[in-house]
């Protein structure tokens, strides 16, 4: 999934300035690890392709920015005007009809399966008996990584206090969170099985080495 | 404040013929009053054994189990039975052996200690606390899995325990039922200061817990705190020694 389509979906849901879209993207799809620059470049490409447009006060919600009044004593909110060369962050974006059609086409289209290419799979496939102790450590370390990711999700879930799952907005958040958790469930299950096997193999290998040395 | 339940270096093995099957190795955990701890594990990972050891329904081969600071191994059978009656609640997934009305099912274990009227009043209160008063007159066989899970919790809390042991409360539940059950368990910890140790078959059921651990290949591994993550990803095997937080 590209940042472009994710940002387009969020703009359709509610027009907004880039910083707000960035925050929403982080909340909604934390596992995808999008960074701020992804949102800005996505908006540039969407605007270039005619899928979103920057709006000013006459066409949509008036975007505001903090400005310092001439006395310099206090800040007040003033409406922004779209001016060439203005900072992208001060602009408000909304979807065009072409953007909505493009998003609908993507949403209703079939989804591809991600390729499975994991470095640890290769290490397990290619390891030698003398590598087993280090490989066991690596597997254990990966279990900790999985648990740390789950911990992050738990903390963010408890901090955000999302809407109750019997409301649509709450339910979709739970489904997206569960998708990521299912991945960590599956990976942890696999890692535990691998660790158990490697530990058993290592014990057998050590036993055989001792017997051979003693003979 | 010290932990209400504490397992220190607990190990348990079973014998299958001549071969030893090590279910738990050097397991340590603590659950304090008002704390919800979730232990994730697949089927056969030793979760139920862990709960049985916590209640000392089984004896560990190695290590100690403490309740309220006291070594449970030193309790007489009568003292242990008393503890199980008054302080420790066990939430099971299986219902009554015969098909009872839910109010009778929850009141049944209270009858021996309280008068009939008080037992039924407390059972009704427990059903209300978990939000299923409307099912008081219904039979187990007529309830769906989500309702059974809640009734099981009512059964477990009817005697106002200080520690609640909950075995896979969300197994076979849909998303909404799972969220309702886990929210209830969290509220029992937060609002009634009950120490809750629950096992879960998937991490989604652990999202409301205060602490999470995984159980597999005999080891209990605690979820590290987020600041450790970047370092873990750089050097997974070196940052934390194997089974470091036991």
Grouping H, G, I as helix, E, B as strand and the rest as coil, residue A16 is: strand
Q: Decide if B103 contacts B117 (C-beta within 8 A).
A: no
Contact B223 A147 (CB under 8 A): yes
pLDDT at residue A71 tops 80: no
Write the ipTM: 0.84
pLDDT at residue B117 tops 60: yes
CA–CA min distance B172, chain A (Å): 15
Picking from B38, B174, B204, B229 by the largest number of A CB atoms within 10 A of its own CB, the best residue to mutate is B204
Contact A153 B207 (CB under 8 A): yes
pLDDT at residue A181 tops 90: yes
More confident residue, B23 or A63: B23
Instruction: Render pLDDT for B2-41 as a digit per residue (tens, 0 to 9).
Output: 799 999 999 999 988 888 888 999 999 999 999 999 999 9
Please name the residue ranges forming H helices in A14-55. 18-28, 36-48
Contact B217 A174 (CB under 8 A): no
User: What tokens appear for A119 in the block?
Assistant: 């470095």
The closest of A168, A175, A180, A28 to B178, measured between CA atoms, is A175
The closest of A117, A142, A116 to A198, measured between CA atoms, is A142
Contact B206 A154 (CB under 8 A): yes
pLDDT at residue A70 tops 80: no
pLDDT band at B225 (very low <50, low <70, confident <90, very high): confident
Picking from A147, A166, A199 by the largest number of B CB atoms within 10 A of its own CB, the best residue to mutate is A147
Instruction: Render pLDDT for A113-159 as a digit per residue (tens, 0 to 9).
Output: 766 677 888 888 888 888 888 889 889 988 998 999 899 889 888 88
More confident residue, A84 or B212: B212
What does DSSP assign to residue A85? T
- Give contacts of B179 with chain A, Cβ < 8 Å: 164-165, 174
The answer to whether A50 faces chain B, any CB pair under 8 Å, is no
The answer to whether A190 faces chain B, any CB pair under 8 Å, is no
Q: What is the pTM of this model?
A: 0.76
* pLDDT value for A75: 38
Q: Decide if B57 contacts B81 (C-beta within 8 A).
A: no
**3-state secondary structure labels for all residues of B1-38:** CCCCEEEEEEEEEEEECCEEEEEEEEEEEEECCCCEEE
* pLDDT value for A173: 82
pLDDT at residue A77 tops 90: no
Pick from B223, B235, B243: CB nearest A151:
B223
pLDDT at residue B176 tops 80: yes
Please name the residue ranges forming H helices in B173-228. 175-192
* pLDDT value for A1: 65
pLDDT at residue A195 tops 90: yes
Instruction: Render pLDDT for B53-80 as a digit per residue (tens, 0 to 9).
Output: 999 999 999 999 999 999 999 999 999 9
Mean pLDDT of chain B: 90
Whole-angstrom Cα distance, residue A133 to residue A142?
Answer: 14
Contact B175 A174 (CB under 8 A): yes
């Amino acid at each position: 999934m590209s940042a472009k389509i994710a940002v387009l979906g969020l703009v359709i849901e509610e027009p907004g300035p880039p910083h707000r879209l960035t925050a929403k993207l982080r909340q909604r799809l934390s596992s995808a690890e999008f960074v701020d620059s992804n949102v800005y470049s996505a908006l540039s490409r969407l605007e270039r392709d005619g899928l979103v447009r920057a709006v000013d006060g006459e066409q949509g919600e008036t975007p505001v920015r903090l400005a310092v009044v001439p006395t310099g004593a206090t800040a007040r909110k003033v409406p922004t005007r779209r001016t060439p060369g203005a900072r992208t962050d001060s602009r408000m974006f909304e979807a065009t009809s072409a953007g909505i059609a493009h998003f609908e086409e993507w949403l209703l289209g079939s989804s591809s399966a991600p390729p499975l290419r994991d470095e640890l799979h290769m290490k397990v496939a290619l390891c030698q008996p003398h590598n087993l102790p280090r490989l066991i450590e690596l597997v254990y370390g990966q279990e900790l990584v999985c648990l740390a990711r789950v911990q992050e999700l738990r903390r963010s879930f408890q901090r955000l206090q999302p809407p109750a799952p019997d409301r649509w907005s709450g339910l979709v958040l739970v489904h997206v969170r569960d998708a990521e958790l299912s991945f960590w469930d599956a990976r942890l299950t696999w890692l535990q099985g691998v660790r158990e096997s490697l530990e058993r193999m290592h014990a057998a290998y050590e036993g055989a080495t001792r017997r051979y040395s003693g003979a | 404040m010290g932990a209400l339940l504490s397992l220190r270096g607990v190990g348990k093995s079973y014998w299958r013929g001549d071969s030893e099957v090590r279910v738990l190795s050097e397991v340590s955990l603590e659950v304090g009053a008002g704390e919800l701890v979730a232990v994730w594990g697949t089927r056969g990972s030793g979760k139920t054994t862990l709960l049985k050891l916590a209640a000392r329904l089984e004896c560990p081969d190695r290590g100690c189990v403490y309740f309220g600071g006291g070594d449970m191994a030193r309790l007489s059978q009568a003292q242990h039975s008393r503890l199980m009656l008054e302080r420790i609640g066990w939430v099971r997934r299986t219902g009554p052996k015969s098909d009872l009305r839910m109010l009778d099912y929850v009141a049944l274990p209270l009858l021996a200690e309280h008068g009939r009227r008080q037992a039924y009043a407390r059972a009704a209160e427990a059903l209300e606390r978990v939000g299923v008063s409307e099912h008081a007159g219904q039979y187990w066989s007529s309830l769906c899995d989500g309702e059974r899970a809640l009734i099981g919790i009512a059964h477990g809390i009817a005697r106002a325990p200080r520690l609640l042991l909950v075995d896979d409360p969300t197994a076979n539940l849909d998303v909404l039922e799972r969220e309702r059950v886990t929210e209830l368990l969290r509220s029992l910890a937060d609002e009634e200061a009950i120490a809750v140790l629950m096992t879960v078959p998937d991490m989604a059921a652990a999202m409301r817990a205060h602490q999470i651990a995984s159980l597999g290949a005999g080891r209990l591994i605690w979820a590290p705190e987020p600041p450790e993550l970047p370092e873990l990803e750089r050097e997974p095997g070196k940052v934390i020694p194997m089974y470091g937080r036991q």
